[in-house]
Amino acid sequence: MIDTKAFGRESNKTAGARPLFFLADLHLSDAIPKTVAAFEHFIRVTAGEADAVYILGDLFEFWIGDDVLEASVSGERAEFARRMTKLLRTLPDRGIKLFVMQGNRDFLLGSRFMTEVGATALPDPFVMNAFGKRIVLAHGDALCTADPAYQRFRRFARNRIAQKVFLALPLQTRLGIGQKMRMKSHDARSTGVSPKYDVTKQAVSALFVRSRTDTMIHGHTHRPAMHREVEGTRWVLPDWELDIDPPRGGYLRLDAEGLRALPL
């Protein structure tokens, strides 16, 4: 069973005519310039018609702490983080609401980051109402219950004491740890697609029931699709990767006509 002890406070705002956009798993870093360019275009151009943008985790390849945003911190990764922060800030500055959920790569995104980009932090999971739909949002990693080792790590990584200890380490030490964790995960996935990296039916069913919804949106698995589950419709967001061939990426649009998956 997944841990759904507390859902985010339900959003009861009635959406206006403008649509809502949902995306996840961009894994932004300075190592993927084409993907970054696509994201910049999305924020500056595509998102211009949205009432709100929801980023459901893994915006960054990894995040080692909000102190990377300090002007005194040098290095390409710090400069990149500050550039993306300024880019995201243009959304609320243009009247477009921004909501950000932590993922398994960037679970250390903190209050300083949210303040600087003008975003509302979303707990995982979160229930919202818009355009006549009641929807549960999640990153998706908590639904991968066939991988108990990862679920143990997930609980540890989100422990406030563990995070405090990690954030007390020197920035360069944290950077090295983050890079090693990323390489380890990449090596594990490169050995082949395993069912344990996907969601389980039991976890999906539990989330539908506990959230009292019939629509779910999540990312994490990098397996974009629309699934008809027993309890409702489950949309899986695509990951963004435009630095490979063929490139991939996309987002969901919710408006008066319903939910649609759109390419970049």
Residue 190 has a pLDDT of 47
Structure letter (DSSP) for residue 7: P
Report d(CA 166, CA 64) in Å as an integer. Answer: 9
**Strand partners for 20:** 52, 254
> 31-55 burial string, b = 16+ CB within 10 Å, else e?
ebeebbebbeebbeebbeebbbbbb
Residue 197 has a pLDDT of 85
Residue 29 has a pLDDT of 93
Does pTM top 0.85 for this prediction?
yes
Residue 3 has a pLDDT of 46
- Mind listing the domains of the chain with CATH numbers? 14-263 (3.60.21.10)
Dihedrals phi, psi of 21, to nearest 5 degrees? -115, 140
Q: Which helix (H) or strand (E) holds 99?
A: strand 97-101
Q: Which residues of the chain have pLDDT under 70?
A: 1-6, 8-16, 182, 184-194
What does the CA dihedral 11, 24, 177, 244 come to, rounded to 10 degrees?
-170
Express each pLDDT in 184-211 by its tens digit.
655 544 444 567 789 999 999 999 999 9
Residue 175 has a pLDDT of 85
Residue 191 has a pLDDT of 46
| CA-based torsion, 112, 59, 215, 230: positive or negative | negative
